């Protein structure tokens, strides 16, 4: 098994775990955490795909890597908005 496959499988488990937390947890903040876990799983999956695409002297395919950077920042913006909504809801 290669490193890419290993981390790809790890990503699959992360998505499953996050989804479980999202469904089962009653507290909204825990749902936000779980949702971030799903996001991380998807990003790692992208990372594994990028690693498989290593070529031309690069350690990995830079296009999916750049997409992940965009994704992390947008996920943060969504998290911040969700937290603000949550704090407003329970004030």
Partner 1 sequence: MAFDTGLAVVVLGVAVWTIAARKTVAAVAGFVAFGLLLALVWVRLAAPDVALTEAAIGSGVTGGLLLGAATRLRRIEPSAAGETLGIGLKLAAAVLCILVATGIAAIVLLLPEPAPTLAPQVAKNLDRTGLGNPVTAVLMAYRAIDTLLEVVVLLLALVGIWSLAPDRAWGGFPGARHHADSDGLLAFVAQLLVPIGILVGIHIFWVGSTAPGGEFQGATILAAMWIFAVMAGLLDTPAVNRRWLRLLLVIGPAVFLAIGLAGFAVAGGFLAYPEAYAKVMILTIEVPVTLSIAATLALLVAGPPERPPNG
Q: What is the three-class DSSP state of 48?
A: helix
Binding positions for partner 1, 70-89, rule CB under 8 A: 70, 72-74, 76-81, 83-88
Using rule CB under 8 A, residue 65 touches partner 1: yes
Q: What is the three-class DSSP state of 29?
A: helix
Minimum distance of partner 1 from residue 57's CB (angstroms):
7
Q: Is 53 exposed, middle or buried (CB count within 10 Å of its CB: 0-12, 13-18, 19+)?
A: middle
Using rule CB under 8 A, residue 35 touches partner 1: no
# residues near partner 1 by CB under 8 A: 76
Minimum distance of partner 1 from residue 47's CB (angstroms):
4
- Under 8 Å CB-to-CB from 54, ≥6 apart: which residues? 60, 61
Minimum distance of partner 1 from residue 13's CB (angstroms):
6
């Amino acid at each position: 098994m290669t490193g890419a496959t290993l981390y790809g499988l790890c990503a699959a488990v992360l998505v499953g775990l996050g989804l479980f937390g999202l469904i089962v947890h009653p507290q909204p903040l825990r749902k936000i955490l779980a949702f971030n876990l799903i996001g991380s799983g998807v990003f790692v999956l992208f990372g594994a795909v990028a690693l498989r695409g290593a070529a031309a002297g690069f350690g990995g395919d830079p296009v999916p890597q750049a997409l992940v950077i965009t994704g992390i920042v947008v996920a943060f913006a969504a998290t911040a908005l969700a937290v603000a909504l949550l704090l407003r809801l329970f004030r």
